Structures are given as C-alpha cells and as structure tokens.
Amino acid sequence: MGSVQDTKACGKCSGMMTTDVEYRTREYFNMCKRCGFVEEAVLQKDIHGDPVRGEHGGFLLERKESGGYGVSYLQFRGGVGRTDSFIYPMENGGVKVFKDLLQNEGVLREESYLITFDQGKATVQYGNPPMEHLLDYEEVDARQKEGIG
Ligand SMILES: [Zn+2]
C-alpha cells in the first residue's frame, strides 16, 4: 500500500481539494476542505470480491461523486481527527447534531469546526477552520508559493 497526496482546485466551489491516489491500483479519494465535495474511485469487484481487470490487465475503477454541502471536523484528544462531508444541505437540525457531538468526552471543542456550503456560499457555523480551507484554491496556491501558511 502506498499513496500520493496532493491538492487541487475543487470542481464544485474552487476551494482546496485534497487528493489521495493509491498508486498501485489508481484508486483515489479527493475531498474539498470547503464545500465537502468528494470524488472517489474504487476498484470494481466481482461476486467473489476480487478486483476486476480490463482487457489490458489494468484494474477497472468505479467512480463516484458525493457531498458538496459542507464539512465538519471533530478533533479528539490524542491527535485523532475526523472529517465528514455533507451529502445534503445542512438544516438547523444538522448544526444541532454537530453541537451535540461537541459535548462528547474527548472532543477538543476549540479545535473542531463546522462549515456549511449552500448556493455557492461557505458559512462557518462553528469554530475556526484553517484559513486555507476557506479561500479559493488559486489564492491558497499563490500563498504557498510565497511561503505564507
Ligand atoms: Zn469545494
């Protein structure tokens, strides 16, 4: 197992998307840090659960897209974090569920955050997400080249 991580512009909101490509199978998992849009490719499996190969011997992939309505991040004690993307527009109920999760033992509230994304606009509902998660990718890229952040 080995994978290559990188970043690119999100196809949905132009925010920063992190990419993770498994170089042997070419499976990938990309997620936007701002709107939560997910692009994913997983191996096609046959009924025995074995990967299916194409006529040239390469693995066949099944591509999926989902999310795009925001991102939540929960930071736990001990350095473990969990990112979730929303596949439906977040209503107030969803914000409340997140705030309830924050009350759990072991959650570091000051390092957790919630961004909702609806009709082209990102809104920070809770916490302080890293600045580069809210900017357009072009701007993130320019700042990185200048060595800021
Ligand atoms: Zn996005």
Which residue segment(s) compose the domain that 46 sits in? 3-66
Single-letter code of the amino acid located at 38: V
How much distance in Å is there from the Cα of 54 to the middle of ligand 1? 32
Give me the tens of pLDDT residue by residue for the chain, a chain 149 residues long. Answer: 589 999 999 999 999 999 999 998 999 999 999 999 999 999 999 999 999 999 999 999 999 999 999 999 999 999 999 999 988 887 777 888 899 999 999 999 999 999 999 989 999 999 999 999 999 999 999 998 888 75
Domain boundary among 43, 66, 89: 66
DSSP class of 11: T
Q: What is the pTM of this model?
A: 0.87
For residues 61 and 80, membership in a common domain is answered with no
Specify the number of domains making up the chain: 2
| First vs last C-alpha separation in the chain | 30
- Distance from CA of residue 45 to its chain's centroid? 24
DSSP class of 75: E
Domain boundary among 66, 88, 117: 66
For residues 82 and 111, membership in a common domain is answered with yes
How much distance in Å is there from the Cα of 24 to the middle of ligand 1? 27
How much distance in Å is there from the Cα of 47 to the middle of ligand 1? 35
